[in-house]
Structure 1
Amino acid sequence: MSENKRRKDVKKIGKKMDKSKAKKWVKRYQKENPDSTHGWLYGRDIIEKLCSYDSLEGVWFFKGINDDGKERLVMFPADKDGNILDNKLRSLGAAAAKGGGLGDDDPVDDGEDCPPNCPEGLGG
């Protein structure tokens, strides 16, 4: 992002929404996209790890396609300007190959898909 165009306070982006509206939006998406992945579940441990990264002020969520052609959600830590923290990003493949843990700014994947692992009331 250029220095002339600054984001608002990244850590304050987003807000809570009405639960009935959220369910309505999700169900509409599922109805209009019955063959797509509807969501992903991530555990507390990986979310806490992501939130503990140095300089983290937000998280980017991107859809990706894995090596098996399956749609996946990938989360990247972001700094105060909304830029992806990428000091060690180039080492992710090497760390995974060695069975190493996450670096300070490695992205996150491997959530549970919905479907088939959907929560009651929203899954479809």
Structure 2
Amino acid sequence: MTTASPQRIFIVEDEVTIAFEMSDTLEDLGFEVVGPSVHLSDAEKKAANKTFDVACLDVNLGNGKTSKPVAEILRERSIPYVFLTAYDADQVDFIDDKDIVLKKPVSQQALVNAIKRAYSEAEA
């Protein structure tokens, strides 16, 4: 098991302002941000092909689209992720009991803690 912290974070968030605020926050804390992806098709491509340690996935990507396909790709690649949503976890049918879910709005500290937790659980 490694004790190293995650370095590269993939962000999927359809609200452009939120996506770039999250990116700026994580970069200010020393993380390297992959993305952000604001469209599902771009998120799926990056999830399948890019190298990163952890992903932050907005559940609702607008126009009836969700991050479920992205999470499925990440599961296949054994890359940990954190769901971000304005909904309660039990309102989202594809969230599993073992998934890490943060309710929006998310504080900087809660986001960092969840990223580190997802990474350490995957490394265990």
Range class of TM-score, shorter chain = under 0.3
TM-score, scaled to structure 2: 0.21
Larger helix fraction of residues = 2
Relative contact order (alpha carbons < 8 A, sep ≥ 6): 1 or 2 greater?
Answer: 1
Q: Which has the larger radius of gyration?
A: 1
